[in-house]
Chain A
Amino acid sequence: MAGRPRCELCGSRPAPRLCPRCRLVRYCSALPCVSLQKSIVEVAVSAAQRFLWEGKALEALPAALQALRFSARVFGWSSVQLVPVYLLLAEASTGTGNLRQASKYLSEAEWIVLQSPDCPAAVQSRLHRGLGLFCIAQGNLDQALYHLATDVYLATSAFGVDSIEVSGGYFHMANIFLRQNKVDVANSLYTEVTRLWHSWLLSSLQEHQGRLRRLRARAEAAPWADDEEVAEEGMTEAQGEEARRVLQALLGVRKKQQLPQETARVLHALAMLHYLDLDLEKAREVGMKAFDLAKELPQQDSLETIGHLLELINANFSHTK
């Protein structure tokens, strides 16, 4: 569609300036160096994060360093914006076995937080999570628990008692308690993590359905309108990835125990996640497992919801086929 061109960087119109090299890409009148650098930071950070998810800690390092350099250029070396980057660097260093370097990066992050009196609680909680995970890598479990507890407290202050941001801290704490053979504490925490993800995914699903209904209604009402991209306010990539890892880990734990109700809940959550990821095959497979388990339970309150999900999946299956 040959509409008026948008700026390559910020998306605004008009975009009169042409890139001198390729003579194809356009930019808007103010070509701020800052906005270019900011997008470099974003790209570098997501690259580093993706490498880490794939277990490629070594490859993550150069991307993370690039992010650090440009963040410092844009925001300054003492800015709170650098903290997430330092945490990535620490995680990557730990992944390559360089604990000393990881510790240095964490100290830098800690120093920034201590120097910033109005550092948001959300950032502080991330810092403590990073510190906690580092302690786990060092084998210092008690210290790790202290940091993760602080993480949870700060995340609760920032996001609320039932927020999804709190679940990460709980999950790692549960793993520690399991290692220390405090099984009932660990289980209580695992149940809480499952509950948080389950209800978050349920409401994401409902929001997603709502969005689709509105889009359809709009399309029906004005089919000739511009096919504008509507900003997807759903799950971020990071949230999706975290959900996937945590739920798979939970499934692994639950399968070893005799707790069918909890296993069913995890499977249900996973099915919803696969659906939101548009992986209908997997969604159906996992959803059926959840349904079969739930059928056997004495309390069948979840059966209806799982049933609805399966109907949804099947309906969409016939759409796409």
Chain B
Amino acid sequence: MSPVKMNVLPQAILQSPGEHPRFVKQPVCPPLDFARIHLIKDKDGIDDYLAKNIKGLSKQEAAANRNSYTKNICIDMLRRGYHKSFSELFTLIQKWNALREAAGPGSAIWHEKSLEEQPDKLDQLYHFLTRAEAAQRAGLYEEVYDNQLNLACSFEEPEDKWLSDYFYEQCFNTAQLVKIDGGKRKAQAHVNMGLINEGHGHVMEAAEHYEAFYQLTEGSSWTDETGHTYNLLACEHLWRIYTLLADKMLENKEHQEAIKTLIKALKMAKEAGNVKMEGEAAYCLSLAYHFSGEQQTALSILNTSLAIFTALRDSAGLGRAYAAAAKILASQGKSAEALKYLGEFMKDAENAHLSQSVVDANVLLGKVHNERGNYIEAFEYFSQASEAARTLNSVPLVDETKAYCGIAKAHQLMVAFNSHVAAEDPVSLKYLLAWKENRSDMCADPLTVELDKETSASKPL
């Protein structure tokens, strides 16, 4: 299940919604006891089977030998009166065939086995569909739901997603008819439909389902198989979906709407009691305020985020949050204040021995100095970042910091270079040409070296 992509807020703060919550234990389907005789390939196998099970083949068993497993299962369903199960199974088989035709040769599904060629899946469908039908005839909708949920949970492979999604939808429809469980099944159905919608990118529909889930579970004590309360799950899903919605709003420059939504997200994170989530939510909210121009509010909310991430020793969060702080202060023209903030960051990072954060802090400081034109300080900080990065043994990180060093160095050279270009006299031109021929990336400034050479050469006049 791929999460929805975010375009404004950082993708990293969302974890994938993950699998459907575990509301029931993994279903076990007992093997069917009637003939799988057509699957037995060799004569010994058949003789063995016959010796154990049959005293001579009846006409029906002979026919069963000729038929496909699907045909045998269907006929068995029908003769026991389970016509709805038959119709549903037949329709599912046709649905898979249609999906395959639509995808065409060369697609992933083209080479997969159809349902008809997977006896285990057919067995599961037989077992649970017939039980659901019997329950439906008796008006026991909670049992119908349970059997459908078992089917939805048992098809976990990615290529069976269409099948499990189908049964989650059936669960949802059935759950509306269950009156005896205080809404527990309805709640389950809502969260599962929310996940399916989210997986397809239908964020608004997903939000509606998660909100329904939240309302149905408020004050309840229901827990899933991992011990989490339903209400906690609701808060987590709502935090995530509100963040996704806000991202779209920010993309469309609907800042006030985004702020309202992110405030809701923050509330959910707090209710879930998840501190990291709360930190991320505060960070996103402060970004939204920053985009809408309310820099002071943005900064004050960001401070909450910084406090949380510091307490949690969360490098990734700290890096992002301090970068945001620097950006906000820069937009207010307060670069001195930015340097103060980042100085604090550096101190905290060193005290807490967070190497990644040390790198981040140095890089941020270097960037601020770079903006202000203090290229020598910038270069110093970037070099320190590079040193710290080396201790982390992360090649990409080291390369990144080296690139920053290069940028600072280049800016430094630019000053001298620009002044020579601006001078527009033949002497400056000579120096420039000499430098171009003798290009080196060493720390010593080649221009002054050349200048000395030339001046010493042209001295005796």
Hey, which bits of chain A sit against chain B, CB under 8 A? 142-143, 145-146, 148-150, 152-153, 156, 161, 170, 173, 177, 182, 184-185, 188-189, 192
Q: List, sorted by A's number, 21 A–B pairs whose CB atoms are closer than 8 Å.
A: A146-B79, A148-B78, A149-B74, A149-B75, A149-B79, A150-B75, A153-B71, A153-B78, A153-B86, A156-B86, A161-B87, A161-B91, A161-B94, A173-B78, A173-B81, A173-B83, A177-B81, A184-B138, A188-B81, A188-B84, A188-B137
Residues 51-93 of B, flagged 1 when their CB comes within 8 A of A and 0 if not, give 0000000001000000000010011111101011011001100
Contacts of B81 in A (CB 8 A): 173, 177, 182, 185, 188-189
Contacts of A189 in B (CB 8 A): 81, 83
Hey, which bits of chain B sit against chain A, CB under 8 A? 60, 71, 74-79, 81, 83-84, 86-87, 90-91, 94, 137-138
Supply 14 further A-B pairs (C-beta < 8 A) apart from A145-B79, A149-B77, A161-B87. A146-B75, A148-B79, A149-B74, A149-B78, A150-B75, A152-B86, A153-B75, A156-B90, A161-B94, A185-B81, A188-B81, A188-B83, A188-B84, A188-B137
Q: Is B83 a contact partner of A153 (Cβ separation < 8 A)? A: no
Contacts of A145 in B (CB 8 A): 79
Q: Is A146 a contact partner of B91 (Cβ separation < 8 A)? A: no
Q: With A146-B75, A184-B138, A188-B137 known to touch, is A152 a contact of B83 (CB < 8 Å)?
A: yes
Contacts of A185 in B (CB 8 A): 81, 137
Q: With A152-B83, A153-B78, A161-B87 known to touch, is A146 a contact of B60 (CB < 8 Å)?
A: yes
At the interface, is chain A mostly helix, strand, loop or mixed? helix
Among A148, A153, A170, find the residue whose CB has the most chain B CB atoms closer than 10 A. A153
Cα–Cα distance between A145 and B71 once the two chains are bound (Å): 15
Cα–Cα distance between A313 and B155 once the two chains are bound (Å): 52
Q: Is B87 a contact partner of A184 (Cβ separation < 8 A)? A: no
Q: Is A184 a contact partner of B137 (Cβ separation < 8 A)? A: yes
Q: With A146-B60, A170-B83, A188-B83 known to touch, is A152 a contact of B78 (CB < 8 Å)?
A: yes
Q: Is A192 a contact partner of B60 (Cβ separation < 8 A)? A: no
**Which residue of A has the minimal Cβ distance to B74?**
A153
Contacts of A152 in B (CB 8 A): 78, 83, 86
Contacts of A142 in B (CB 8 A): 79
Contacts of A161 in B (CB 8 A): 87, 90-91, 94
Contacts of B86 in A (CB 8 A): 152-153, 156
Cα–Cα distance between A156 and B81 once the two chains are bound (Å): 16
Cα–Cα distance between A189 and B87 once the two chains are bound (Å): 12
